[in-house]
A and B are shown apart, each in its own frame.
Chain A
Amino acid sequence: MNRSRVQIGLVAIGFGFLLLPLTLSAQAREVITKQITLGSSVAELSLLFTGNGRLDVTFDDGVVQVDGQVVGRIDPGDRLEVAWRSLLEGAVMLEDGPLAERLLAWSAPEGLAAEVDSIAQEIEQALQGALESVDTQARTEQVEVPVSIETEGDVVGLLERTLEQEAEIQNRIRVELREEIREEIREEIREEIREEIKWIARSGEDSLGVSGNVFSGLFSLIGNLLLIAVLGLMGGVLVRFGGGHIDTIAETALRSPVRSALVGLGGTLLLMPVWLLGFLGLLISIIGIPLAIAWLPLFWLLVSMAFITGFVSVARSAGEWVADSGLRWTDRIQKSNAIHTVFVGLFVLLLAFLIADVISILPFSGFLTGVLIFAGCVVIVAASQIGFGAVLLTRAGRRRESHYTQNDTGIADQEADSPGGG
C-alpha cells in the first residue's frame, strides 16, 4: 500500500515536471504594442499584451492613473514623476525582454512622502503584475547565439546576462549617439544658416532657396514701389512747377515717339563727347576755367534731370493712355489730375518688374522672371530714350515741336505755337 502510494506520488511528480514547461509557456506573454508618451505635463506608458491584456500608467498634470483608475495626485515635477520620466526615456528604444526587465527593475526613489510613496507602490505592483509573466529573455531583434543546453547553468546564465547587458549598452549608446549626432547636425545647420545670412547681408545676393526667393522678391518689390513713389513725387513737383513744359514734352513724346526715341538715342551717344568737349572748351577760354570745374558735375546733373523729366512725361502720357483705354477700373483714373496720371503711368512702365518681383517669390521661376525683367528693361530704356529725346526736341518743354507734316502714329499734326514763352 505504502509502496503503491509512493509509486503514485512519483508518477504525479513526473507528470508535474512534464507539464511544467507547458504551463510556463501558457503563462508567458509578449508585449504586442508599446506606446510611450512624453510631454511637458504627460508621461504615459501603455502596453498591450497577447491575449488583450494591457497596462496603462499615466502621469498627467500631477494626476497619476493606473489602468484608468486615479491612484493619487502629486505635485507636477515631483521626484516620483522625474524618476518615472527617466524610466520611460530609457525604455523608448527597448522592446520585449529588455523592456520588461527594465520596467521590472524600476523602483521609486527613496524618502518620498507617505502619500507619494503609496502611489509609487501602486505603480510598482502594477508593473510587477503585468510584466512578471513576460519572458525577459525574449528579444525582438533575434540575436542568434548558439547556447548549448548541456552547458552548465552558471555559464549559460552568465552568457545571457552578458548578452543582455551588451544589448542594453548598445541601446544606450545608440540613443546617446543619435542625440549627439542630431545635436551636432543641428549646430552645423545653425552655423551654416548664420554664415549664409551673413553672406547675403554682405553681398546683397540671395540663394537661400524658397526663403531666399521670398526675401529677394519682397526686397525687390518694395524697392520698385519706393522707386515709383520717389519718381511720382518728383513728377508731382515737376507738374506743379513746370506744368506747361511737362505738357509739351508729354505731347511730343506721344505724337512723335520714334522721332523722340531716335533723338534721345543720338543724344545719349553724344553725352560723353559733349561733356568732354565742353570741359576742354571751357578750359581753353581763360574765363571758362572756373566754369569748367562746375561743368563736370553740373552736366550730369542736368542730364539726369532731363532723363527724369522725360521719363515722368512719358509716364504721364502712358497714364493718360490707360485712362482713355476704357479698360475696367480705368474710369477711376482722373485724367484731369496730372499727378494721378503720372503715378498710373509709372505703374504701367514698371509693371513688368513688379510682376517679376512677385513671381520670383515662387521657387524655380527664374526663366519667367528673366523674361519679365527683360521686357521691363526694354520698356524702361524705350521710355527713357523717348522722354530724353522729347526733352531735347522741345528744349526742355520750352518750345513745342513744329513743322510736323505727319507724326509717328500717322495722325496729321498741326503746327503749334510755342508755349511758355519759347
Chain B
Amino acid sequence: MKMGRVLVLLGVSALVAILSPLDAAIVQNSQTVTTSQKLEDTDEKRVSIEFGAGRLTIRPIDKGLLYRLKLRYNKDYFEPVTDLSGNRLHLGVERIRKGFRGIFNWNSSGGGNEFDLELTREVPMDLHINFGAGSAELDLGGLALTGLEFNTGASGSRIKVSEPNREQISKAQFNIGAADFQLEQLGSLNAEDIEINAGVGSLELSLDGSWQRDAVISIDMGIGSLELHVPEDLGFQLRKNSFLTSLNGMRNLVKEGNVYYSLNWDEAERNVTVDLDGALGSVTVRLIR
C-alpha cells in the first residue's frame, strides 16, 4: 500500500516536472482584457455568459455602467466575446483553437483563467450563465433579475443573494453536473419556482434571506449529499420521493407519509416546499436562527 503511494507520488512529481515548461509557455500567452460599457438605457436585457474553465466571479456594480468585465484567458486558445446587440448582451470567451493546454491557463502563482464580471443593478435582466469547470463565486444581491439559469459541469460554485432581487423571477433554474454547490440567502432571489438538477456532488442550500412570496424548490439529485439550512421562522415542508436516501435532522419536523413539515407550517408568514427526488445520498436539515 505504501509502496503504491510512493509510486504515485513519484509519478505525479514527474508529471509536474514534465508539464512545468508547458505551463510557463501557457503563462506567456495569458492576456487580460478589461471592458466596460456605459449604461445608456434601462430596457430589460437578456444577458448570456459563457465561460469554459477557471474562476468565475459575478457581482453588482453601482450606477453608471451596464457592466465591467475583467477577463484573463489564453489568447492562443480563446478570444473574448463582448457583444451588445439590441437588448441582448453576450459576454464570454470563445474557443478559437482545439487543444487541452489552454483550458485552465494555470500559472505558477496560482492564477488561471478569470472571468470577473460586475453587472448593473439598474437594468432588469434575464440572466443565463453557462460555466464549465472551476470555481464560481456569484453575488446576485441587488440585481434586477427577471429570470435566472445557471448551468455548470464540474465546479465548486457558491451563489449568494446578499440583497433582495429588485424584480420577480417566475422560475430560476440550476443545472449542476458534478459539483460542490452552495446557494445562500435563497429567499432574496424573489423566485416563485426554483428548480435544481444535480448529478453528483454536494448541495448546500440556505433558505434564509427575505422571502416575499411562498415558493417551491424542486431538487432532482443523482448521487450526493444535500444540506438544507432552514430559518426557524420559515414554514418548511420536505416532500421526499427518493431511493436509498438517508435523512438527518428530522427531529424538529413532523412526518406524514413521505412529507415532513416544520411545526410552524400553518402559522408561518411564508412557506417553502422542497420537492426532493433523489437516487442515492443523504439529506440533512438544519434549523437556523
Residues of chain A having any CB pair with chain B under 8 Å: 30-40, 42, 92, 95-96, 139-142, 186, 189-190, 209-210, 215, 218-220, 222-223, 225-227, 362-365, 367-368
Contact = CB atoms under 8 A, between A and B. Distances in A.
Given A142-B63, A219-B1, A364-B201, A32 B34 contact: no
A39 B200 contact: no
Contact of B38 (A32, A42, A218): A32
Interface stretch (B2-10, B14-22, B184-192): B2-10
A223 B30 CA distance: 40
B29 A140 contact: no
A368 B280 contact: yes
A142 B178 CA distance: 43
B30 A362 contact: no
Give 5 nearest A-B pairs by CB, closest first.
A140-B64, A39-B31, A222-B4, A223-B1, A223-B4
Contacts of A218: 8
Interface of B is mostly: strand
Interface string B269-289: 000000000001110000000
B28 A363 contact: no
B110 A32 contact: no
A interface majority secondary structure: mixed
A363 B200 contact: yes
12 contacts: A37-B32, A42-B31, A92-B70, A96-B38, A140-B65, A141-B62, A219-B1, A223-B5, A364-B223, A365-B200, A367-B223, A367-B246
Contact of A363 (B5, B38, B180): B180
Given A32-B38, A37-B32, A226 B4 contact: yes
A40 B38 contact: no
A355 B37 CA distance: 53
Contacts of A209: 156, 180
A85 to B, nearest CB: 11
A35 B225 contact: no
Interface residues of B, number: 42
A360 to B, nearest CB: 12
A391 to B, nearest CB: 26
B110 A226 contact: no
Nearest to A140: B64
B183 to A, nearest CB: 16
Interface string B212-235: 000000000001110000000000
A141 B32 CA distance: 24
Q: Most chain-B CB neighbours within 10 Å: which of A33, A92, A139, A363?
A: A363
Given A218-B8, A365-B223, A39 B75 contact: yes
B31 A38 contact: yes
Contacts, number: 108
B109 interface: yes
A363 B181 CA distance: 12
B33 interface: yes
A365 B65 CA distance: 44
Contacts of B29: 39-40
A364 B64 contact: no
Nearest to A189: B110
Nearest to B7: A222
B36 interface: yes
Contact of A34 (B1, B36, B64, B244): B36
B81 to A, nearest CB: 12
B152 interface: no
A34 B35 contact: yes
B113 interface: no
Contacts of A368: 223, 280
A92 B223 contact: no
Contacts of B75: 39, 42
Contacts of A226: 1, 3-4
Nearest to B64: A140
A415 B246 CA distance: 53
A33 B37 contact: yes
Nearest to B3: A226
Contacts of A362: 178, 200, 223
A209 to B, nearest CB: 7
A40 B30 contact: yes
Contact of A364 (B37, B62, B225): B225
A141 B64 contact: yes
Contacts of B210: none
Contacts of B180: 209-210, 363
Contacts of B197: none
A363 B156 CA distance: 11
A40 B28 contact: yes
Contact of A36 (B7, B33, B40, B156): B33
Given A35-B82, A363-B200, A95 B36 contact: yes
A222 B11 CA distance: 12
Contacts of A365: 200, 223
